[in-house]
Structure 1
């Protein structure tokens, strides 16, 4: 295990204490209004300075939410660990079982007996959010998807994700699979700090697979200078989720928004939170949250 993990755990232990003490604390330019995507009962957000661990913004960041495809961040975390340990290489072929192939879209649509190399699997999970590939990775690393989900939850606890339970490798609907915006920020920071050599995958917006161009879902890439990943997610129960990494001009932020009513509202909100967090007049000020009509 990397030496960065104790630091991550210490940083977010302090963050958890701040959340407990401050409650729904916000700081931004005086009397500013931040439009919040509907529906309010699904919304949660947090912005963290990834260099210092300082919480810059939070609303309902410890409330239970459905992760949707943000789940795949942990699937990738364990796959990156397997790469680091030498258990797999980027050329290793991962078989796609009938169970994996039967997952609902989004997916790459494999036929019986086919496989995918690890490098392509990473790109398929990051860019396409391919459910069939995520399940195939889970089965390969865990022996079964259920065993892999237990591994995911165990690693989450070790990282300091205190309120997350994983039930599958993909993020497809499961009433027992829960997380929080804070825990997703912990995972985003851990991926950035633990696997800097692999983090470039999260900045890719398309990839070639079997001679065709596969385009991605993360419209924040290229929209805001400095955004270099990480992952989007959606199921009906969760709304539109995203974890975003911003890294420019000596600033490194992790922004989590959960429960938006559309991808556009989610992305607009992330951009507003980034601008707010970079504002030199933000400290000591207040933010009024304006929720959209429901």
Structure 2
């Protein structure tokens, strides 16, 4: 329990936060919830496409409860097909399985596919948005309000760095077997090769992906995870003025976080700030001379940005204390240039995962999507849905007694798809001998690769929503193998798909030539 005096000091620091253009950031230990650095972490901010993390969370929750299946074919409505770019140009009436839709949405941040998922899970967008807000309240995301499932700008849609860290923690803890949805480096949709919008993917060792976002009002946002020496961190950066700045600052924050063990307070203890998110579009345009600076996701070479001051670890939550960027970095790809800028190395070559529109053989036996007209009993899962106990907010339950189970990720992982340096990571309880300074007794910590066939840990340090156990993936798909230079990407990727999907002929999607980035593009 955080001391009242400490709470007052922390709240004071948040209340006196600087202008919106100052940005906001947060780094936490994913296992313990310890705050490693914090800068205006509860300041309301426009989420842009980080909103899609909640869309994915609700879709996976619906799969766990048997209301929809990964092979469920969801038809696209005219509303979904009409969403603004970034999109993959699905046509009204075309179908896509939830499995392929989730991968496309999380890798490419496709706005049209986000609406397809929302309608397939909620029946219509209005119902789904109500589900988003109800889930945010349940998880303890006190600063958040959603108005659409894809993050396209709405003045009333907002989150905070604190809330996005809570959501990232919930995704990682409740659905570890589905991490390939947010850490895949690239997907191949017909003639479209779609790279992950997260510039850390393929550049930062141990990165576990997650989600980016951009609208002019929000600036460039990212929620990123990374694992080093068996320890996983979650970093949130909101309000960077370019894609490169966002990526480099996130890398700096992660490097700094891996050198710390926490300052005595936790994600659960960060108070809400209140208020409304403000637009920083003017600053974004001034930085780019009238337009938003291009994202770094399409660049394969090194990128560099000015070194950023990063949030400290003082009792005010990092509002007033900052630490200059270190002169040397523990990551081998972060270097300081003579100009003073920080450089992040080139992107690793990525093997795309093939995806397609249309049904698969498994679609015939999968539950119908909620937006499909049919008999009442055909619109829900066949058989009894699992009983899920009511859940306490994640933020409130981070340090209670052990209540849930967590399983090692036995599906495709960052290290298995050739896109992300690092090793497979699993959550496991820490024994007393492994407790690090600054951690409470009996914490959960992250351990390294799990041996093939090893039993999954049976319990975890409390922190996932109480009473909810993650659902193992129905069938782990083989890891992708990086092809030789002469191998065709489509053939190399086919081995990683389910047999049914490998046999399905992808429908060619409309090729999209990427135009110059505009201020209203959502990435």
**Residue number in structure 2 paired with 1:44:** 24
Contact 2:46–2:157 at 8 Å: present in 1 too? yes
In structure 1, stretches of 5+ residues that fail to align are: 1-12, 26-38
CA contact (8 A) 2:68 2:121 kept: no
Query: Among residues 113, 119, 124, which one is paired with 2:99 in the alignment?
Result: 119
Q: Please give the alpha-carbon distance, in whole angstroms, between the structure 2 residues aligned to 1:240 and 1:205.
A: 19
Report how far residue 282 of structure 1 moved.
Answer: 8.5
Number of equivalent positions = 264
Distance across 2 between alignment mates of 1:212 and 1:65? 32
Cα 1:224–1:157 shift into 2, 3 Å: same
Residues 67-99 of structure 1: per-residue CA shift (max 9 Å, x gap) = 000000000000111121222222111111000
Higher normalized helix content (fraction of residues): 1
The aligned counterpart of 2:164 is 184
**Aligned pairs (5 A) from 1:88-167:** 88-167=68-147
Q: CA deviation at 1:20?
A: 5.6
Identify if the C-alpha distance between structure 1 residues 289 and 40 changes in structure 2 by more than 3 Å, giving closer, same or farther: farther
1:226 to 187, 203, 206: 206
SS of the residue 2:235 aligns to: strand
Q: Distance in 2 between matches of 1:82 and 1:169?
A: 15
Supply the RMSD in Å over aligned alpha carbons. Answer: 2.4
How many Å apart are 1:271 and its aligned residue? Answer: 0.8
CA contact (8 A) 1:83 1:89 kept: yes
Q: CA deviation at 1:42?
A: 5.2
Flag the structure with larger Rg.
Answer: 2
Give yes or no for contact 1:50–1:254 (8 Å, CA) kept in 2.
yes
Q: CA deviation at 1:287?
A: 2.5
Deviation by residue 1:11-36 (Cα, 9 ceiling, x = unmatched): xx97xx977643588xxxxxxxxxxx
Q: Deviations over 1:143-172 (max 9, x none)?
A: 221221110010011111011001000000
Contact 2:206 2:227 in 1 (8 A): yes
Matched, 1:53 2:29: no
| Shift of residue 141, structure 1, vs aligned partner | 1.5
Kept in 2, the 8 Å contact 1:70–1:241? The answer is yes
* Aligned partner of residue 227 in structure 2, secondary structure: strand
Q: Which of 45, 67, 83 is matched with 2:47 structurally?
A: 67
Q: Secondary structure at the match of 2:177?
A: coil
Q: 2:149 aligns with which of 156, 166, 169?
A: 169
The equivalent of 1:216 in structure 2 is 196
Q: For the residues of structure 1 that align with 2:223 and 2:90, how far apart are their CA atoms? A: 28
Contact kept, 8 Å, 1:24 with 1:59, in 2: the verdict is no
| Partner Cα separation in structure 2 for residue 281 and residue 128 of structure 1 | 34
CA distance in 1, matches of 2:6, 2:170: 19
**Distance across 1 between alignment mates of 2:193 and 2:45:** 33
Which aligned segments of 4 or more residues in structure 1 are displaced greater than 6 angstroms?
281-285
Which residue of structure 2 lines up, in the alignment, with residue 251 of structure 1?
231
Q: What residue in structure 1 maps to residue 322 of structure 2?
A: 287
| Long gaps (5+) in structure 2 | 14-18, 264-312, 315-320, 326-340, 342-523
* Cα separation, 2, equivalents of 1:137 and 1:103: 13
Partner of 1:239: 219
Q: Secondary structure at the match of 2:150?
A: coil
Distance 1:62 1:18 in 2: 16
- Deviation, 1:57, is 0.7
Report deviation, 1:184: 0.4
Q: Which has the higher strand share?
A: 1
| Distance (whole Å) between structure 1 residues aligned to residue 202 and residue 220 of structure 2 | 19
CA contact (8 A) 1:163 1:180 kept: yes
Aligned to 1:204: 184
* Cα distance in structure 2, aligned partners of 1:172 and 1:120: 21
Shift of 1:280: 5.3
Which position in structure 1 is the counterpart of 2:507? Answer: none
Instruction: Return the alpha-carbon distance in structure 1 between the equivalents of residues 260 and 154 of structure 2.
Output: 42
2: CA distance between counterparts of 1:258 and 1:245?
15
The answer to whether the 8 A contact 1:24-1:60 is kept is no
Contact 1:206/1:216 (CA < 8 Å) preserved in 2?
A: yes
TM-fit CA distance, 1:270:
0.6
Give the alignment's TM-score, normalised by structure 1. 0.83
CA contact (8 A) 2:48 2:152 kept: yes
Give, in angstroms, the shift of residue 200 of structure 1: 2.0
Distance (Å, rounded) in 2 between the aligned partners of 1:243 and 1:20: 28
Structure 1 stretch displaced more, 240-249 or 82-91: 82-91
Instruction: Give 1:216 shift.
Output: 2.2
